[in-house]
Amino acid sequence: MEALLGYALIFMARVVDVSMATTRTLMVVQGRRLQAAAIGFFEVGIYVTALGKVVSSLDNPLNLLAYCAGFAAGNFVGITIENKIAMGNLSAQIILKSSSESDLVDALRNNGFGVTILEGQGIEGPREILSVVLNRKDMQKLKSAVDSVDTNAFITINNITPVRGGYFAPMKK
């Protein structure tokens, strides 16, 4: 029973510390220094505790198995958490295949998105490129608005760090 508790402790410690590492990395990329430092403090304490338990009994391969399984599960949990938090900003470029861009511009603006229209040249001739900067948590809302007008639209999305200015829909509480 005590051995099973030890394996569970190692596994859960790794799930928690790897999930924290995923979140901390996101904070670092976004320049959130204080949050990254606070998460890192607890993350490394949990990591060292789990590692110490494994290293102190290298003759038990099940400790190593629990450690590895916790790492794998921690990656899964960390990415799931990161997707739920959806912090940060994105830039989307939308090129319509069949519909008029004015219908989509109206749909996007009615959904609270700022839209800039650029002229482009594709293999099939001139195209309008719609540029939208959005909060990451609004990505599905953007896709739904585009699909309501043209399900064949070409959409690219990039992570960005806005410097200043621009239009963002008011924050929702």
User: What one-character-per-residue DSSP string does 11-69 give?
Assistant: HHHHHHHHHHHHHHHHHHHTT-HHHHHHHHHHHHHHHHHHHHHHHTTTT-HHHHHHHHH
Please report whether residue 166 resides in a domain. Answer: no
Q: Which residue range is the domain that position 64 belongs to?
A: 2-85
Please report whether residue 51 resides in a domain. Answer: yes
Residue 101 has pLDDT above 90, yes or no: no
Are 76 and 7 in a shared domain? yes
Mean pLDDT of 112-133: 88
Please report whether residue 43 resides in a domain. Answer: yes
Residue 109 near residue 77, CB atoms below 8 Å: no
Are 16 and 43 in a shared domain? yes
Of 15, 36, 17, the residue nearest 25 (C-alpha) = 36
**Residue type, position 146, single letter:** V
Of all residues in the chain, the percent with pLDDT exceeding 90 is 58
Mean pLDDT of 68-85: 92
Are 105 and 128 in a shared domain? yes
Please report whether residue 165 resides in a domain. Answer: no
Query: pLDDT tens digits for 33-63?
Result: 999 999 999 999 999 999 999 999 888 999 9
Contact residues for 56 (Cβ-Cβ < 8 A; gap 6+) = none
Q: Which of 85, 108, 138 is the last residue of a domain?
A: 85
Are 67 and 26 in a shared domain? yes
Residue 116 near residue 131, CB atoms below 8 Å: yes
Please report whether residue 156 resides in a domain. Answer: yes
Residue 11 near residue 73, CB atoms below 8 Å: yes
Gap between the Cα atoms of 105 and 60, Å rounded: 62
Q: What is the pTM of this model?
A: 0.67
Gap between the Cα atoms of 32 and 8, Å rounded: 32
Are 140 and 125 in a shared domain? yes
Q: Strand, helix or coil at 166?
A: coil
At residue 173 the predicted structure's pLDDT band, cuts being 50, 70 and 90, is: very low
Please report whether residue 167 resides in a domain. Answer: no
Are 106 and 69 in a shared domain? no
- Counting the structural domains of the chain, the total is 2
Are 11 and 79 in a shared domain? yes
Average pLDDT, the chain: 88
Q: How many CB atoms lie within 10 A of CB 51?
A: 15
Please report whether residue 171 resides in a domain. Answer: no
Query: pLDDT tens digits for 25-37?
Result: 988 988 889 999 9
Q: Which of 70, 85, 100 is the last residue of a domain?
A: 85
